Amino acid sequence: MQATQTIEKPLTQVKSQKDLHKELDALGAWSVAQVEALFALPLSDLMFRAQETHRAHFPDGDVELATLLSIKTGGCPEDCGYCPQAARYDTDVKANKLMDLDEVLEAAKAAKAAGSNRFCMGAAWREPKDRDIEKVAAMIKGVKALGLETCATLGMLEPNQAQALQEAGLDFYNHNLDTSEDFYRSVISTRGYQDRLDTISNVRAAGMSVCCGGIVGMGESREQRAAFLARLANLSPYPESVPINHLVPVAGTPLADQKPLDPLEFVRTIAVARITMPRARVRLSAGRQELGRAVQAMCFQAGANSIFYGEQLLTTGNPEAEQDRELLAELGLKTKQSRKTEVLV
């Protein structure tokens, strides 16, 4: 099922979860109730439906390998409760300046040699300055010249900044909604939900593809997870890439002691994302290492077809490349890069 109605205006500012969900339901396409009904299906039925959807839209069954490099780490003024890069939290992350162009290009070359086809650059800014955009634009041009797809996540963007990135050749811009609108203030107070929607709108207007997802396991309810996925699915169009992160609690952050989400609930979240956004690349992102091989395998069966690949994911650990290759090979999965030749070995 795909959105058939353009959402022309944001939801009004309301505090009632019930009223907020009613307003979203009234917009058409995927209602929160419909998405909740998917979550409530017997797991075998949900997985079967997700597999049908996946095979219909990705008949080659390939897995996209993306590498994420933190080009500017730490020192962020935001208060995102999950993030060790926030300057206000006492974590092991130290603030560093923006990397030099040559360093970034060396990392991109290494990522390509390891099999990645998309190279993502992340900077811990609330919003970049125009002079920052100029430097990142040079990185984008250099990475594109290597034959890689490019993605960046730099915080909030003004329309002129989005246009400058597009002119540099940026393929994707990542800006996550993180969670549902009614749970959002439980996690973040320094940036509003509408700010995130505005940046996504600016990216679309500039002609770039959108990478947008969020984090589950932050204490939200299933209904709030359903509302989060409904919001993503009802964007017009929905994102081309949908990263789903499993919270990695980090000492020193407000969510350090958050109880882990049940692994099967995470699998359900992947399956529902696949069904509601059938043509998107649904990406397993942060938290894969904690999930383990068996749960990751279930996520691939549920329709995940993209992973962040490599040893480091911004400031959290990620399964090493060789372990990823072994798991994909055992599952008989192909990479996007190798799909025209042979099964990954």
pLDDT of 298-332, one tens digit each? 999 999 999 988 654 444 444 567 888 889 999 99
Active-site residue (options: 283, 288, 299, 325): 283
pTM: 0.86
What pLDDT shows up at residue 14? 39
Answer yes or no: 185 catalytic: no
Could you read off the pLDDT tens digit of each residue along the chain, which spans 345 residues?
A: 444 333 333 333 434 555 555 554 445 489 999 999 999 999 999 999 999 999 999 999 999 999 999 999 988 999 999 999 888 898 888 888 999 999 999 999 999 988 889 999 999 999 999 999 999 999 999 999 999 999 999 999 999 999 999 999 999 999 999 999 999 999 999 999 999 999 999 999 999 999 999 999 999 999 999 999 999 999 999 999 999 999 999 999 999 999 999 999 999 999 999 999 999 999 998 888 788 899 999 999 999 999 988 654 444 444 567 888 889 999 999 887 633 333 332
Question: Residue 258 to residues 213, 219, 286: CA-CA distances in angstroms?
Answer: 20, 7, 16
What pLDDT shows up at residue 345? 24
Residue 80, number of CB atoms within 10 A of its CB: 20
What pLDDT shows up at residue 323? 84
In the chain, the domains with their CATH numbers are: 28-333 (3.20.20.70)
Active-site residue (options: 49, 76, 225, 281): 76
pLDDT of 122-164, one tens digit each? 999 999 999 999 999 999 999 999 999 999 999 999 999 999 9
What pLDDT shows up at residue 114? 86
Answer yes or no: 118 catalytic: no
What pLDDT shows up at residue 309? 81
What pLDDT shows up at residue 9? 33
Answer yes or no: 299 catalytic: no
What pLDDT shows up at residue 36? 97
Active-site residue (options: 211, 225, 231, 325): 211
Answer yes or no: 76 catalytic: yes
Answer yes or no: 283 catalytic: yes
Active-site residue (options: 83, 118, 196, 288): 83
What pLDDT shows up at residue 310? 62
What pLDDT shows up at residue 98? 94
What pLDDT shows up at residue 70? 93
Active-site residue (options: 49, 118, 151, 274): 151
